[in-house]
Structure 1
Amino acid sequence: MGINLLPIEIDEIRKRLRREPNEAEWKVIDAVWSEHCSYKSSKIFLKSFYMEGPNVIMGIKDWQDAGAVDIGDGWAIVVKVESHNHPSAIDPFNGAATGVGGIIRDVISKGAKPIALLDMIRVGDLTLSKNRWLLKNIIAGIGFYGNSIGVPVVGGELAFDEMYNDNPLVDVACIGVVRRDKIVPSVVNKPGLKLVLAGLTGIDGLGGASFASRKLSGEDEIGAVQIADPFAGKIILDATLEIADKVEAIKDLGGGGLAVAVTEMANGLGVIVDIEKIPLRVKEMNPIDIIISETQERMLYAVKEERVNEICKTFEQYEYPCSVIGEITGDKTIRFRYNGKEIVSLPSELLLNPPRFLWSIKKKKKELKKYISSSDIELEKALHSVLSHPDLVSKEWAYSQFDYEVNTSTVIKPGEADSSVILLPNGKLLAVKGDANPDLCDEDAYECGKGIFAEAYRNLASVGAKGIVAVDHLQFGDPKKPEVYYSFLEAIRGIGEASRFFNIPIVGGKVSFYNENSKGKEIKPTPLIVMAGLVKDKFLRNKVEENSYIVLIGYTRGELAGSLLSKIFGISSEVPKARLQEDIIASELVIDSINNEKIIFAKDINRGGLAFALFRMMTYGYGVHINTRDILSDTDNIIDVLFSENGGRFIVLTNDPQWIIDKAKSKGIVASVIGKVNKDSGVLSLNEIKINLSNLINYYFNFLEEVMKNG
């Protein structure tokens, strides 16, 4: 049958139906019950997230295409995150481009105008030509779609690990804005509505949901990858926003195609679809392929009968296909007919209620390998090894391929600070950031779940914003492997605890399992948090000035497990604990300092530790001198002090350090002056030691462009 169902599921289907499904019905069930669409191994746990709050309009419990929160003045923002990992491994250009197209359609399905994209990308070792080819085409695909459709890519992440050699991760998030009273649901609650489909259906993307719900086989599965057409996507965007207030519900045709879209839109009611009425890109398509095709740039609308002509007339003006293909019924049965013959007849209840799986769990055992002590590492070697790591270099090579200033709403551009800032229609400023830390999650997924949530919160604070909403993406290997499932559950526990502590609701997200390389080795656990927040009063655009004081906010701990230093050298150390109280208080101090115009530069300390935060200042063309003896820490080892990545800390530049120190004391946290900026460009002075890092600064700016010339 070519389906991806487990034997226990096949038996369950026959038992519930009391008959043998035909081929078309097996394909429909396979799509709707796929892990990609049904969340059958995860849904029960996602309900444990904090997802309430006075500003939440739509969230996880509503199972809409995207989440929405109120931002005041009658406006709301819509947030969604998705991935296109498997497609990007096979066809990186179209895989990444259609990931952008899909996330944009999720946002416009709420009646919201997309205003910003973020891309979070992880690929393998750049010394391998295949990984350079993957990265080059992933970036090109994202730029092609975003630039063509006029939605700016304002930020993201780009990181490298050999674990992603055969299975790159391509995450895309989208932010949209809409008047609160204009938000459109994705589901209906009454029969009699007509189903209107816009767009052409083709043979690309066949079985894509099933493909995304199994391991990459290494065989050519190019047919499961959709083809991107951003110019058609722009028509869908413009026309959908034009008719949004004239329809009852909007659904993007994504994973599982029509099979999933009509089932989810009906929300337990029934549907009847006449397949021959569906506009086709390819003549004489197999009816079953029409049902499960995942061709892009298509949308489904539930419309009152008297408004059907008005809706299709809008698309006629764009010369874009539009057809009434069926209607919502009250018989709670999903039906597909072809030239009057019924080829699918399945209960909605069956399709919407797949078995829920709870797999075995087992804590991962530490690998028995030789570790070294951080005190055995020579200082200059540590600096050069960490600061030259590809994760830390400038990502301008990637950002330069994106039109991040289209619509002129980008206030802080990608790479300028820890978060990007965009101007909203109500005049408010919104900061956005995506964060993950696979190395830490590989050590302790629970602490990592808390840590990445806290890091996103600090990143927003560094530009003057307070987080108000988050979405998550949980990316793991095969959930049937006990160690994988254990990490998954621990990450959920950590993220949920942090979201409740910060009082920031998680309004949506995605789960992506079966991320493994060609040898069957799963990726490192890679949960991701995308957070958005409003600038409280003023925002900070970083600058560096000679003679400004360097102040370290927060306490440094010699916890190096999961750090970049440990990854490079193999250090035995403790996992950094997420002390969320320190994160929130330090963030409040930074926001207060920005609003009182007391600082000119702020960076939270995370990847690369204090060493990279200082180095980032130096990329502005200055030198820095610090006295490590002035750093408040539980260790006097200079390596630990420089490269620990424990949270709750910021580096800021100020001309009034006492104000910050006094303010920190009043809040119950520590802050100390640890040095000053000087004009000795490229020189890092540590106590009495001077280290020239000029070559590393050149490397920082040029590495990616140079290495990708051979891509």
Structure 2
Amino acid sequence: MVNLTQYEIDYVKKALGRDPNEAEWKTIDALWSEHCSYKSSKIFLRSFPSEGKGVIMGIEDWQDAGAVDIGDNYAIVIKVESHNHPSAIDPFNGAATGVGGIIRDIISKGAKPLALLDMIRVGNLSDNKNKWLLKNIISGIGFYGNSIGVPVVGGELAFDNSYSDNPLVDVACVGIVNKNKIKPSIVNRKGLKIVIAGLTGIDGLGGASFASRKLSGEDEIGAVQIADPFAGKIIMDVTLEIQDKVEAIKDLGGGGLAVAVTEMSNGLGVVVSLDKVPLRVKDMRPEDILVSETQERMLYAVKDENVQDVCKAFEYYDYPCSVIGEITGDGVVRFTYNNKEIVSLSSDLLLYPPLYAWPIEEKKESNEVKPNIEIKTAIEKILLNPDLVSKEWAYSQFDYEVGTSTVLKPGMADSSVISLPNGKLLAIKGDANPDLCEEDAYECGKYIFAEAYKNLASVGSKGIVAVDHLQFGDPKRPEIYNDFVESVRGIGEAARFFSIPIVGGKVSFYNENKNNIPIKPTPLIVMAGLIEGKLLKPRIEEGNIVILGYTRNEMRGSLFSKIFGKYGNIPKSRLQEDLLASEITLNLINDDKIYFAKDVSRGGIIGSLMPILANSYTVSIDTSKIIGTEDIYAKLFSENSGRFVFITSDPFSISDLAKKKGMIASTIGKVRKGNYLEIDSLKFNISHIVDHYYNYLRDEIE
């Protein structure tokens, strides 16, 4: 079975002047899958700014990751990927192989992986299947990351019914490399030998095609790869050892050999003998060898005189290594088996499938519901929401300090921080906001890019590079495709405003369950930045609470609206305010004026106070001091952008600096020892909320 449209089938037959055989159909199916070809998204992705200061490798066809110069002859390499469909079928192996795949993307550039982020979204935990999915996803991530020795230093964990049966499992990785030794994933001359390391099996058959269609509810377990982190460690170590002996490196990921060989050959043409591919299972069909996505395999383009040295390095570990082909220069991709040519297709046909721009249609406006709920009840429901609880249950299963580069442990701040070999500190963060994207994907695209920028600023870092992951349902559905197009427009606008290049990314369509119910639109931004001044290690102490920025009645897409009904305006991302607020925050950190900083986002001001309350402190807030809207719900729960919450002993200096920068800051309350939350005349004990904050996940899942 191939996942091609009738138009594509007719297109291929006309281009070839014949009917392809089974092996050729499978090759085309893999190369033309949404997962590999981006045929429904590429024309819009071209609008992203991928060039800029320090960019060494940006968004380029068939490169496995992007790279940015950070000085001292070093570059960071960064990539984000997902394993959504596999994790829905086999959450342990699906999540584990997602980690393995992203690590191989990093080492394909010759870079040493330094840290992982995992961004996970599942259905509500009232459903036992969602509990099973989450438990095994976390186990799979921990199993692979801990075994291979790359720390998981942070991420996200959020819940929504739209992810029931279709969880999102995003993994990002950052690595370090000498900028003069970055390896391409493609070749530019003929005569190079194609070398494969690793065994090919029957797991992961047709995985790229599987990821490019809706979940059917049928048994698709064969499309899920099996994780082997110990083999992955060998691949990682040897690849870094032999990088000077190879001309190009490519991970065998989606589409297996068919895709990796075709993309690496870069249109020059290649011939590969499938007989020479080391197999895990005897008597595999050549068609299956072509598209198997067995993990822990790597492809190398090698000069003839270096082949022996490359394979000798693997022989030390008794790890399979074999020369399977050669770059020909004739523009044809050929696969042979038993001295018989079973695939002969032009590179251009495989690499340049038809591109699509599907019809779009804006969503209909939903009805507004003006809430009528007591403030205390609203506060409790917000603070008890699973999105705001401690994620310690998940982080505790990851060895986040392996490699000794972790500076801020997961959950300590809004961004993770690692140390680099040149002594610099790098902050990284991933952000998404599906509730806002469901309301307005364009504003959401700007919002999540700006939020990532602000999260980096909250620890003292300025963003320098980003990657994206765009996750939606069926692109042929006009409302879904409109969300995709609008989110791309918003992300691109924000990236240009902040002058931050997007050097790579991923598009994942067809995220729908067996009942054709799509996920909420979930574009994701992962951003990295250097700490050029001081690092803020957040600490909770007695002091003044200061809000930087103007609070607006922009409640749509907020956690409050999700719980109590939609009302208010859609947040407008005022990027100038986000930039100014971030610059002020950096100045305050470098001048030692604050000891806690958090951008106002999920849950509004009340959500931003949760880390303070969780440390057994009393928070007193005077809402009349919150500058902006007079709506009490919006004062406390609006998630409009351009704002930070600080704890400080010197509130006047913050107000003065904000005024000089054209912003506003106001002292709205105090922090002192205790277990109470005081909002105006309202005072209540929050011991039960703190207990829920620390124990919810463990109690629900274990």
Partners in 1 of 2:634 and 2:351 — Cα distance? 52
Report whether the alignment pairs 1:89 with 2:65.
Answer: no
Partner of 1:372: 369
Residues 215-257 of structure 1 show CA distances to partners (whole Å, capped at 9, x for unaligned) of: 0000010000000000000000000000011100000000000
Report whether the alignment pairs 1:438 with 2:450.
Answer: no
CA positional deviation for 1:688: 2.1
Partner of 1:589: 584
CA positional deviation for 1:367: 4.0
Equivalent position to 2:594, from 599, 603, 620: 599
CA positional deviation for 1:423: 0.2
Partners in 2 of 1:382 and 1:517 — Cα distance? 32
Partner of 1:693: 686
Report whether the alignment pairs 1:48 with 2:47.
Answer: yes
Runs of 4+ in 1 over 6 A off after TM superposition: none
Percent identity (aligned): 70
Matches within 5 A, 1:162-241: 162-241=161-240
Partner of 1:667: 661
CA positional deviation for 1:508: 0.3
Partner of 2:548: 553
Q: Report if the CA contact (8 A) 2:62-2:186 is conserved.
A: no
Residues 404-436 of structure 1 show CA distances to partners (whole Å, capped at 9, x for unaligned) of: 000111001110000010000110000000000
CA positional deviation for 1:558: 1.0
Partner of 1:506: 502
Report whether the alignment pairs 1:159 with 2:158.
Answer: yes
Partner of 2:72: 73
Q: Report if the CA contact (8 A) 2:228-2:295 is conserved.
A: yes
CA positional deviation for 1:615: 2.4
Q: Report if the CA contact (8 A) 1:184-1:245 is conserved.
A: no
Matches within 5 A, 1:262-273: 262-273=261-272
Equivalent position to 2:608, from 610, 613, 636: 613
Report whether the alignment pairs 1:678 with 2:672.
Answer: yes
Partners in 2 of 1:272 and 1:50 — Cα distance? 36
Partner of 2:539: 543
Partners in 2 of 1:62 and 1:350 — Cα distance? 15
Matches within 5 A, 1:64-143: 64-143=63-142
SS of the residue corresponding to residue 406 of structure 1 reads coil
Partners in 2 of 1:327 and 1:168 — Cα distance? 40
Task: Count how many residue pairs are aligned between Structure 1 and Structure 2.
Answer: 702
Residue 169 of structure 1 aligns with an amino acid whose one-letter code is: L
Partners in 1 of 2:648 and 2:366 — Cα distance? 45
Partners in 2 of 1:570 and 1:660 — Cα distance? 35
Partner of 1:651: 645
TM-score (norm 1): 0.98
SS of the residue corresponding to residue 151 of structure 1 reads coil
Partners in 1 of 2:61 and 2:701 — Cα distance? 43
Partner of 2:570: 575
Residues 55-95 of structure 1 show CA distances to partners (whole Å, capped at 9, x for unaligned) of: 10001135410000000110000000000000000000000
CA positional deviation for 1:704: 0.4
Q: Report if the CA contact (8 A) 1:47-1:61 is conserved.
A: no
Partners in 2 of 1:603 and 1:438 — Cα distance? 20
CA positional deviation for 1:545: 1.3
Report whether the alignment pairs 1:60 with 2:59.
Answer: yes
Residue 641 of structure 2 aligns with an amino acid whose one-letter code is: G
Report whether the alignment pairs 1:275 with 2:274.
Answer: yes
Residues 179-222 of structure 1 show CA distances to partners (whole Å, capped at 9, x for unaligned) of: 10010000000000000000000000000000000000000100
Q: Report if the CA contact (8 A) 2:103-2:173 is conserved.
A: yes
Partner of 2:21: 22
SS of the residue corresponding to residue 130 of structure 1 reads helix
Partners in 1 of 2:104 and 2:21 — Cα distance? 32
Does 158-167 or 613-622 show the bigger shift?
613-622
Q: Report if the CA contact (8 A) 1:440-1:448 is conserved.
A: yes
Q: Report if the CA contact (8 A) 1:443-1:575 is conserved.
A: yes
SS of the residue corresponding to residue 200 of structure 2 reads coil
Residue 708 of structure 1 aligns with an amino acid whose one-letter code is: I
Q: Report if the CA contact (8 A) 2:153-2:406 is conserved.
A: yes
Partners in 1 of 2:235 and 2:515 — Cα distance? 40
TM-score (norm 2): 0.99
Residues 435-479 of structure 1 show CA distances to partners (whole Å, capped at 9, x for unaligned) of: 000000000000000000000000000000000000000000000
SS of the residue corresponding to residue 430 of structure 1 reads strand
Q: Report if the CA contact (8 A) 2:216-2:513 is conserved.
A: no
Partners in 1 of 2:317 and 2:39 — Cα distance? 40
Partners in 1 of 2:244 and 2:221 — Cα distance? 38
Partners in 2 of 1:71 and 1:263 — Cα distance? 32
Partner of 2:377: 381
CA positional deviation for 1:659: 1.1
Partners in 2 of 1:538 and 1:300 — Cα distance? 42
Q: Report if the CA contact (8 A) 1:119-1:172 is conserved.
A: yes
Partners in 2 of 1:571 and 1:266 — Cα distance? 52
CA positional deviation for 1:506: 0.3
Residue 470 of structure 1 aligns with an amino acid whose one-letter code is: A
SS of the residue corresponding to residue 580 of structure 2 reads helix
Unmatched runs of 5 consecutive residues or more in structure 2: none
Residue 373 of structure 2 aligns with an amino acid whose one-letter code is: I
SS of the residue corresponding to residue 599 of structure 1 reads coil
Q: Report if the CA contact (8 A) 2:442-2:490 is conserved.
A: yes
Residues 103-123 of structure 1 show CA distances to partners (whole Å, capped at 9, x for unaligned) of: 000000000000000000000
Residue 699 of structure 1 aligns with an amino acid whose one-letter code is: H
CA positional deviation for 1:691: 2.1
Residue 464 of structure 1 aligns with an amino acid whose one-letter code is: G
Partners in 2 of 1:125 and 1:627 — Cα distance? 34
Partners in 2 of 1:191 and 1:440 — Cα distance? 50
Partners in 1 of 2:228 and 2:383 — Cα distance? 39
Q: Report if the CA contact (8 A) 2:109-2:183 is conserved.
A: yes
Residue 554 of structure 2 aligns with an amino acid whose one-letter code is: E
Does 272-281 or 608-617 show the bigger shift?
608-617
Q: Report if the CA contact (8 A) 2:622-2:669 is conserved.
A: yes
Residue 321 of structure 2 aligns with an amino acid whose one-letter code is: C
Unmatched runs of 5 consecutive residues or more in structure 1: none
CA positional deviation for 1:343: 0.5
**RMSD between superposed Cα atoms in Å:** 0.8
Residues 387-406 of structure 1 show CA distances to partners (whole Å, capped at 9, x for unaligned) of: 11111100000000000000
SS of the residue corresponding to residue 235 of structure 1 reads helix
SS of the residue corresponding to residue 620 of structure 1 reads coil
Residue 691 of structure 2 aligns with an amino acid whose one-letter code is: N
SS of the residue corresponding to residue 4 of structure 1 reads coil
Q: Report if the CA contact (8 A) 2:249-2:301 is conserved.
A: yes
Residues 332-386 of structure 1 show CA distances to partners (whole Å, capped at 9, x for unaligned) of: 0000011211000000010011000110000011345xx4314x12101101111
Q: Report if the CA contact (8 A) 2:265-2:327 is conserved.
A: yes
SS of the residue corresponding to residue 506 of structure 2 reads strand
Partner of 2:697: 704
Partners in 2 of 1:158 and 1:308 — Cα distance? 44
Partners in 2 of 1:494 and 1:294 — Cα distance? 34
Q: Report if the CA contact (8 A) 2:604-2:638 is conserved.
A: yes
Partner of 1:530: 526
Partners in 1 of 2:690 and 2:468 — Cα distance? 34
